[in-house]
Structure 1
């Protein structure tokens, strides 16, 4: 694998929610969980260790990992979760997940296979994260689909496969009851198989405009990945440096990168990017982070984002999110 697998800080909040639901104190584990912000990157071995420590608190629950995954909410997978909410069909949602899985694991792992008999989401055996983490991930996937589609019967998979060995018979029964389908263990790869009809299932909150904005934000986050390609890293670093100066433009960035405007534009085109999308996506990403910091005035944030004045920032923010920065900040601080 090119880079070690990891998850996001938002994902590990599944574990906090599970501890809360069972009223388990676990002070040391909670301290470790709370030390990770949603935007942090959590190494896979640490996530696996957290899961093992949590599940040891409930030794009589044969498939606790499934119940942890069942806590899933869109916020646990960040912008990808909200992007799924904005998709109009399950086919769009699956395509979005495949496109941006790197934001979640740091790698592009999933293979989506579609034919007349089945729709298969498949992860190679070498990408397995172990019995507990794999169980949480697949349980969360199915739970999120059920939640988005209000438990429509068509969301039940035809089969689920895991690469790890079968657990105790009581746990196997829990797996089959949870997924409502046959479950295979010691399989060649991790798989979730659906009937082809699921692709046409409508998602209740489909929003083409919101999807476009979230897609831009996801693209900006992809560029910010620490393992992004060298061109993407240099571009991101340059944009972040120039943004507060109010001098961010395609021509200025090209000059900083010692290339021509035409060459830079061509590089963006080959990646399916546009300058306006990149700039908007970066500003949206940073705006949310800055608004969560009560020490920054709105005028400060406008300048940090490269806007000439706060009113220009207000208009842009309303275009992105349909609300004002002030109201959004109040909501963010209330959640904190």
Structure 2
């Protein structure tokens, strides 16, 4: 069954902020805010309809840009935490590939490198997105990059939109400061290759709280951990963010041959698969009881491609679903 295309409902905050800045009121926005106030996601088609209605009410060229540029890291939830905790832009983008469905699950995400530039690509999975929605996405990504890198001077080299070209594309080139094209099969945002290795100098209290919870959970997973086990735990947690942490990759990161790595683990009477399971379980418990992360976000943080896989694994560990565990430990 195809998942219903959706976006984080917190993105409604961007439209609220834009309308407040321009002294505009909109009844549909007020209704959607009430309807999705306590829900993590909202249907994508309602977001598109709202953007179209705002445009009809307030026809501004490149309207989506002015909404998207108001984006802050917290508007993309766990992606924001990962952005703020990553050492460099390239490490964040590797995580972004895994977590992109949280931001926009109607398109698949990829990165393409070509000579002295690279491209962030969104390929439609179901049907093409609206032009206004793509403007919000592109400008939101640019805004987030500038903020997490502390580099307001970062400029795109080229943008390829997939929608029909408007009568006048001059406002687009003026707003984005680069060549703009339309009718593309894929939404592409081209950027200078040199920014990939820029460091992310983060200082964020929400992030610190989340990472502190991770550290506490890790310490519970193994009694009296020494330096080797602490380093190993942190490597596993970081690799979980981008998928399944293989023993081969972990050994390589620790400058050990696979045989030496297994021998070292054996000296602690540990099996690698049991260690990964133990860390996943402790992190899952911590996220469920001490954070507001959605189950989908928790599953992805633990290296599961789908929430259903995380839920099945958790039920095997604890004989109850993640939702039941969260409810029983919060009541």
TM-score > 0.5 by shorter chain: yes
Residue in 2 that maps onto 1:183: 180
Residue in 2 that maps onto 1:23: 23
1:124 aligned onto 2:123 = yes
Cα distance between partner residues in 1 of 2:20 and 2:330: 41
SS at match of 2:282: helix
Cα distance change on mapping 1:216 and 1:103 into 2, 3 Å: farther
- Structure 1's unaligned 5+ residue stretches are 223-264, 291-300, 308-336
Deviation, structure 1 residue 47: 1.1
Cα distance change on mapping 1:85 and 1:289 into 2, 3 Å: closer
Deviation, structure 1 residue 83: 1.5
Deviation, structure 1 residue 136: 0.9
Q: Could you state the TM-score of these two structures normalised by the residue count of structure 1? A: 0.63
Cα distance between partner residues in 2 of 1:164 and 1:27: 28
SS at match of 2:74: helix
Cα distance between partner residues in 2 of 1:114 and 1:274: 35
Contact 1:165 1:185 (C-alpha < 8 Å) held by counterparts: yes
Cα distance between partner residues in 1 of 2:330 and 2:61: 54
Deviation, structure 1 residue 285: 4.0
Residue in 1 that maps onto 2:202: 205
Residue in 2 that maps onto 1:246: none
Cα distance between partner residues in 2 of 1:165 and 1:65: 15
Contact 1:88 1:206 (C-alpha < 8 Å) held by counterparts: no
Q: Residue by residue, what CA displacement relative to the aligned partner does 1:249-268 show, whole Å, maximum 9, x if unpaired? A: xxxxxxxxxxxxxxxx95x9
Deviation, structure 1 residue 128: 3.0
Contact 2:62 2:132 (C-alpha < 8 Å) held by counterparts: no
Contact 2:107 2:122 (C-alpha < 8 Å) held by counterparts: no
Cα distance between partner residues in 1 of 2:239 and 2:138: 22
Alignment of 1:171-320 (within 5 A): 172-205=169-202, 213=214, 274-289=277-292, 304-305=328-329
Residue in 1 that maps onto 2:9: 9
Cα distance between partner residues in 2 of 1:108 and 1:32: 23
Cα distance between partner residues in 2 of 1:18 and 1:285: 33
Deviation, structure 1 residue 202: 1.4
Alignment of 1:102-121 (within 5 A): 102-106=101-105, 109-121=108-120
Deviation, structure 1 residue 199: 0.7
Cα distance between partner residues in 1 of 2:197 and 2:181: 27
* Number of residue pairs matched by the alignment: 248
Residue in 2 that maps onto 1:260: none
Alignment of 1:8-157 (within 5 A): 8-37=8-37, 39-59=39-59, 61-106=60-105, 109-126=108-125, 128-153=128-153, 155-157=154-156
Contact 2:106 2:124 (C-alpha < 8 Å) held by counterparts: no
Contact 1:11 1:38 (C-alpha < 8 Å) held by counterparts: no
Deviation, structure 1 residue 216: 6.0
SS at match of 1:10: helix
SS at match of 2:202: coil
Deviation, structure 1 residue 186: 0.8
Cα distance between partner residues in 2 of 1:204 and 1:74: 14
Deviation, structure 1 residue 57: 2.2
Contact 1:123 1:191 (C-alpha < 8 Å) held by counterparts: yes
Cα distance between partner residues in 1 of 2:38 and 2:72: 13
Residue in 2 that maps onto 1:164: 163
SS at match of 2:108: coil
SS at match of 2:10: coil
RMSD: 3.7
- Structure 2's unaligned 5+ residue stretches are 216-235, 244-271, 294-324
Cα distance between partner residues in 2 of 1:103 and 1:218: 19
Deviation, structure 1 residue 281: 3.4
Contact 2:88 2:197 (C-alpha < 8 Å) held by counterparts: yes
